[in-house]
Every structure is written in structure tokens, then in C-alpha cells.
Amino acid sequence: MKKDHGYFQRRLHSLLGVIPVGIFLLQHLLVNNFATRSPEAFNAAADFMANLPFRYFLEIVVIFLPILYHALYGIHIALTSKNNTSTYGYFRNWMFVLQRVTGVITFIFIGWHVWQTRVQAQLGQHVDYDMMAGIFSNPFMIAFYTVGVLSTIFHFTNGLWSFCISWGITVTPHSQKIASYATMILFAGLAIVSIRTILAFI
């Protein structure tokens, strides 16, 4: 029974990492990328998201709770997993380790990002282009956000590879190899989009 419970938790952890957390990440990156067009375009996109119907319900049920479960159980996995890269230095072993490391970095980054934007919005600040430009006026925050965003994207795209295996989408070595290339290409594309977004606020 305990084994079955752990299996269910891992499957749920894997699913939530893609639906809805991964989908929310893609949407968040898309909205932020409007900054590359103009400050007005970013403000319009941010205001649209802020005025969605049932926004608080969506944030709590569809975003915050799934992220919290995925993060806490992910940290449990990171702390209890055994890494063997010193003995077996294969590509996937290193990706396994990086998945755990970027998961911890992502957890810290998201916590700070929520405090710096969402919580501050509740305290009366308006989340707009000027607010983000103010954050990125600090060189440390540029570095922090760059590492945090790239870690988050890597954790998501590399997690897609594991998700495909866990849910029986890629069952052969050949299909898993194709998935590796596809997720690396997706990481590169999203990384470029994100770096361009950060530069647009500087």
C-alpha cells in the first residue's frame, strides 16, 4: 500500500509539473515577452491577465496549490534520491542531477518572484513595465533573474522528458532519444525568448 501511495504521488507530481504548472509557465513567458514590443504592450498584457474573471480562484487552485505540491514533493525527491554521476557519468545521469539542482533553484526563485511582484501588488504596487524595469536596474537582480528563469525553463523542459516516460508516451530507446533532442531544442528556444525579455526591461 505504501509503495502504491508513493507511485501515485510521483505520478501526480509529474502530471502537475506539466499540467497546469508547465502551461502556466509558457503563458507567463508569453505575457512577459510583450515587453520586447514596447512598455505599453507589456502593460496591456499584464492588465489583461490581472483582470481575468475569477482571477483569485484561478491563482490559488490552478497555479499556487499545484506549484506548492510539485515544489515540496520535488524537494523531497531531491533530498532522498541517490546520485551516481561519480560512478556513471552518462548524459542522463547528469540530467537527473541537474533536474534536482534546478528544482531547488526554481523553488527559491519563484518564492522571491512572487514576493517581489504578486505580494507587492496586494500591498498596493502596480505591476507594470516601470516596476519590472526598477527591479532590473539592480545588476544583482539581472543575474538572479537570469539564473532563476533559465533554471525554471530547464527544469520544465527536462521534466517533459521524464513525464513522457512516466506516462508511457516514449517507451523505446529511440523515442526517448528523440524526446531528448526535442526538449533540448525547446529549452534553447524558451531561453532565447526569456533573455530577450529580460533585456527589454534593462
Q: Looking up cell 509503495, which residue turns up?
A: 3
Mean pLDDT over all residues of the chain?
90
Q: Tens of pLDDT along 123-177?
A: 888 889 999 999 999 999 999 999 999 999 999 999 999 999 989 999 998 999 9
Nearest to 122 by CA among 35, 64, 62, 180: 64
pTM: 0.90
pLDDT band at 5 (very low <50, low <70, confident <90, very high): low
* Domains of the chain, earliest start first: 2-200 (1.20.1300.10)
pLDDT tens readout for residues 29-74:
999 999 999 999 999 999 999 888 888 888 899 889 999 999 999 8
Residue 191 CA: distances (Å) to CA of 26, 163, 197: 12, 20, 10
